[in-house]
Amino acid sequence: MTSSAVPYNLNEIGKFFLLSGVWLGIIFGAVWAACWAVGMLVPQLILNAYPNDPCALNVANAIRLLTPLVGVMVFIPINAMYMVLAERRGLALFTVRKGPNRVGPDGFLQTAADAVKLLFKENINPHGGDVLMFTLAPIIFFAPSVFGAIPLLAAVTSNHDLFKIVNLPTGIFYVLAMSSIPVVGIVMGGWASNNKYSLVGGLRSAAQAISYEIPLVLAIITTCFLVGSLDVVNIAQMQKGTDNLASFGFLNWNFFGAGAIPHYLDLLMQGKLEGAQVVTSAFWSLALAFCCILLCGIYLTGACAEINRIPFDLPEAESELVSGYNTEYSGIRFAIFFLAEFTNLFIVSTVAVVMWFGGGATPFPGFLDANTFASIATPFNQALAQAGLPPLMDGQTMSGAFWAIFKTYALVYFAILVRGTLPRFRIDQLLDFGWKKLIPLSLILLLAVTYIRELV
């Protein structure tokens, strides 16, 4: 690398973070404004206009119940546009290139222009294909992305009142059930295209889903068994720690053994461990943390395979199958496939954050916590109250949402780094890795966590 390349790349890194900051501000400002308007402002206006009217109360409650769906529908298209741009700019950074920088200031509006272009392109039906199945395939592929994300809203907003309705007792199983549907859309699209490359891509996707969904689900089930809950809100809140363990911060995360290390340190400081107990307790606590790290790694690997990310992009495999299952797609139907792929990446990253990385918990006690964000939200809420409007947000929700978003995008950027680093598997290597390595390892970890949990 030449001496001039270093400042050039540092300059591009600065542009990347500036672009990300502006886009994320737009995304989550728009999402929360939509949720606030539908869930709080409109119901209050209705009740103010028709006080003591049971019909008005029912209408206001019905509108309020739409808040999670409205939030997801506003979030998905804007977030996908940002993630496409972030991936293209991120890959350019890794290879010391500029990336898209023509449309808007420094390429800021590139993906918005691409989205408009796709919406106005002609939808072409392949000759000899099944038009109905060909049209339904992207819808079936996309719909679970919308409904699968809804229970996670309660977890990442610290169970805010607007999203309590989607706080399901078995929320993680609901998310897993939704995540198993998109492969049906891929197979359907590959078959309905009447194209041999598309059909091979669809069949590869089915084989890949069967191979990697098993270790993925086993990793999540083992973690749920460890913490004793299937509720994503409870799982996230448990990782904040109890009052006597709050000072340990990120060590309470499931990634580090679901609080086993803080529990050991707490007992050690209280003098409840003596002699050989000090060594044995430390060993089992670290062993449990090691098992949880492996479980998280299995989940992330299986998730990349489930959403067809490199190095598991065999269903598309441009160098082998033209573009795989979506070879014959164009216009808005191709855009829907593209939209769902990046939305699925965000969802699997959010699930990882909730299950292993503390959800909305701050990694360091007192650092950008609820009190910090409450001081930011108070002036806005007071101004709205003076205007007779409902409060915009509370500190607890702001803190939880900020940290959940930060961690989720950190995993998204990690996936982008993996794409820019690793080559694609061969199909035989992909299946061997899933069946002969990940599935046995996930079963071993299930037994190990069951045993170690009782000792810890």
Over residues 76-100, the pLDDT tens digits come to 888 888 988 888 888 888 888 878 8
Task: Work out the pLDDT band at 390, boundaries 50, 70, 90.
Answer: confident
How many whole angstroms separate alpha carbon 285 and alpha carbon 260? Answer: 5
The pTM assigned to this predicted structure is 0.89
Task: Work out the pLDDT band at 3, boundaries 50, 70, 90.
Answer: very low
Over residues 152-192, the pLDDT tens digits come to 888 888 888 888 888 888 888 888 888 888 888 888 888 88
Q: What string of H, E and C letters represents the secondary structure of the chain?
A: CCCCHHHHHHHHHHHHHHHHHHHHHHHHHHHHHHHHHHHHHHHHHHHHHCCCCHHHHHHHHHHHHCHHHHHHHHHHHHHHHHHHHHHHHHHHHHCCCCCCCCCCHHHCCHHHHHHHHHHCCCCCCCCCCCHHHHHHHHHHHHHHHHHHHHHHHHHHCCCCHHHHHHCCCCHHHHHHHHHCCHHHHHHHHHHHCCCHHHHHHHHHHHHHHHHHHHHHHHHHHHHHHHHCCCCHHHHHHHCCCCHHHHHHHHHHCHHHCCCHHHHHHHHHHCCCCCCHHHHHHHHHHHHHHHHHHHHHHHHHHHHHHHCCCCCCCCCCCHHHHCCHHHCCCCHHHHHHHHHHHHHHHHHHHHHHHHHHCCCCCCCCCCCCCHHHHHHHHHHHHHHHHHCCCCCCCCHHHHHHHHHHHHHHHHHHHHHHHHHCCCCCCCHHHHHHHHHHHHHHHHHHHHHHHHHHHHHC
- Closest C-alpha to 87, from 454, 391, 419: 419
Over residues 340-386, the pLDDT tens digits come to 888 889 999 999 999 999 888 888 887 888 888 888 888 888 888 88
Above 90 in pLDDT, residue 313? no
Over residues 271-285, the pLDDT tens digits come to 777 778 788 888 888
Q: Percent of the chain at pLDDT above 90? A: 12
Q: Percent of the chain at pLDDT above 70? A: 96
How many whole angstroms separate alpha carbon 120 and alpha carbon 118? Answer: 5
**Residues contacting 412, CB < 8 A, separation 6+:** 83, 86, 345, 346, 349
Q: State residue 247's pLDDT score.
A: 58
Q: State residue 265's pLDDT score.
A: 82
Q: State residue 330's pLDDT score.
A: 80
Span 295-322, mean pLDDT? 82
Average model confidence (pLDDT) across the chain: 84
Q: State residue 222's pLDDT score.
A: 93
Above 70 in pLDDT, residue 151? yes
Give the best-scoring range by mean pLDDT among 5-9, 231-235, 268-272. 231-235
Over residues 200-259, the pLDDT tens digits come to 888 888 888 888 889 999 999 999 989 888 888 889 888 886 544 445 788 889 998 888
Span 436-456, mean pLDDT? 89
